[in-house]
C-alpha cells in the first residue's frame, strides 16, 4: 500500500548523498603497465634490427 506523506511533515532521517569519489589507479596500472608496454616495443625493435643485421646481411654478397 502506498502512503502519501502529509503536508508540513519532515522525514525522520535526512540522508545526504556524497559525491562519487574518483579512485586513484593502483600503482601497478600507473607504473608496471606502461613499463611493460615500453619493454615490449623495445624488444620488438631490437629483434627487428638484429634480424636484419644478422640474417639479411648474410643473404647478399658484395661483388667486387
Does the structure show a pLDDT above 60 at 5?
A: yes
Lowest mean pLDDT, pick from 7-11, 15-19, 50-54: 7-11
Q: Which three cell numbers stand for residue 39?
A: 619493454
Segments making up each domain of the chain, as ranges = 26-59
Residues of the chain with pLDDT > 90: what percent? 31
Exposed / middle / buried, residue 23 (Cβ in 10 Å: 0-12, 13-18, 19+): exposed
Overall pTM > 0.75: no
Indicate the range of 12-16, 38-42, 51-55 predicted with least confidence.
12-16
- For residue 23, the model assigns a pLDDT of 79
What are the CA-CA distances from residue 12 to residues 1, 5, 15, 17, 24 (Å)? 20, 12, 10, 16, 36
Average pLDDT over residues 32-44: 96
What is the spatial distance between Cα 49 and Cα 56, in angstroms, rounded to a whole number?
10
Amino acid at each position: 500500500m502506498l502512503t502519501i506523506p502529509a503536508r508540513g511533515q519532515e522525514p525522520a532521517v535526512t540522508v545526504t548523498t556524497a559525491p562519487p569519489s574518483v579512485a586513484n589507479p593502483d600503482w601497478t596500472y600507473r607504473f608496471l603497465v606502461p613499463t611493460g608496454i615500453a619493454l615490449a616495443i623495445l624488444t620488438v625493435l631490437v629483434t627487428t634490427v638484429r634480424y636484419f643485421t644478422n640474417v639479411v646481411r648474410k643473404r647478399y654478397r658484395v661483388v667486387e
